[in-house]
Chains A and B, each alone.
Chain A
Amino acid sequence: DQQVKQNSPSLSVQEGRISILNCDYTNSMFDYFLWYKKYPAEGPTFLISISSIKDKNEDGRFTVFLNKSAKHLSLHIVPSQPGDSAVYFCAASARGGGADGLTFGKGTHLIIQP
C-alpha cells in the first residue's frame, strides 16, 4: 500500500522552461513533506521542504506547493537548467520533528533538454 505516490516515472522539459513534479499522499497523519534530488551513484540531496501549516515554500528557483485537501504537493523549478536533470523523490513524515523515518515516493526522472 503506497502512501506516497509519484505517478510520473519520467518527465522531459526544455531548458529555460518550468518543470512541475507532482506527488500525492494518502496518509492524513503526514505533516511534513520534503523533496530530494538524486544523481546516479550519489546519495539523495535535500532540496526543499514544507510543513502542513503552510501551502507554499520558496527557495530560489524551487517552489513547493501543498494542497492538503487534495493530499497533493508539487515542486516547481523555474527556469529549468541542465544540472537539474536527476531523479526527484517526494518524501513525507508523520511526526514533523519526531524520530520516525521518511516515507518516499518511487521518484520521477527529470530530463532537461537543451
Chain B
Amino acid sequence: DVKVTQSSRYLVKRTGEKVFLECVQDMDHENMFWYRQDPGLGLRLIYFSYDVKMKEKGDIPEGYSVSREKKERFSLILESASTNQTSMYLCASRANQPQHFGDGTRLSIL
C-alpha cells in the first residue's frame, strides 16, 4: 500500500510567520502535489512536482512556494502566513493515476 505521510495533523501559526508543511511518500513516485481544501470549494491545486528540483504552479500558487530536494519529500512553504491561508492542506503522490493522498494538515493562522 502507498503511504503518504504529512508531518503534522494540526498546526497553529501566527500571521507573518514562515511555515513549512512536510510530506513524505514511500513508493518512489515521481509526481507529488499540494492541494488545499476549503468548505464549499473542494480541493484546489497549489503546486506540483514531477521530479527532484522540478516544480510547477497549480491553480492557486500565490503566497506559497515549494521545495523538492529528495524524491520522497515535498515541502510546502508559506513565506509569510496570512489568515486567508487557514485551511486543510493535502499532499498527494503518484506514478501513474490515481493520486494517493495523505491525511492532511489542518493549519490555522492567527
Contact = CB atoms under 8 A, between A and B. Distances in A.
| Dominant secondary structure of chain A at its interface with chain B | loop
A55 to B, nearest CB: 18
Interface stretch (B65-73, B77-85, B96-104): B96-104
Given A41-B104, A99-B31, A101-B33, A46 B42 contact: no
A40 to B, nearest CB: 10
A49 B97 contact: yes
Give the interface size bracket for A toward B: 20 to 34
Contacts of A99: 30-31, 48, 50, 56
Given A43-B4, A43-B102, A89-B43, A100 B97 contact: no
B99 to A, nearest CB: 6
Contacts, number: 63
B90 interface: yes
A103 B56 CA distance: 15
Interface in B1-49: 4, 9, 30-31, 33, 35, 40-45, 48
Contacts of A60: none
Interface string A1-41: 00010100100000000000000000000001010100001
Interface of B: 4, 9, 30-31, 33, 35, 40-45, 48, 50, 56, 58-59, 90, 92, 96-104, 106
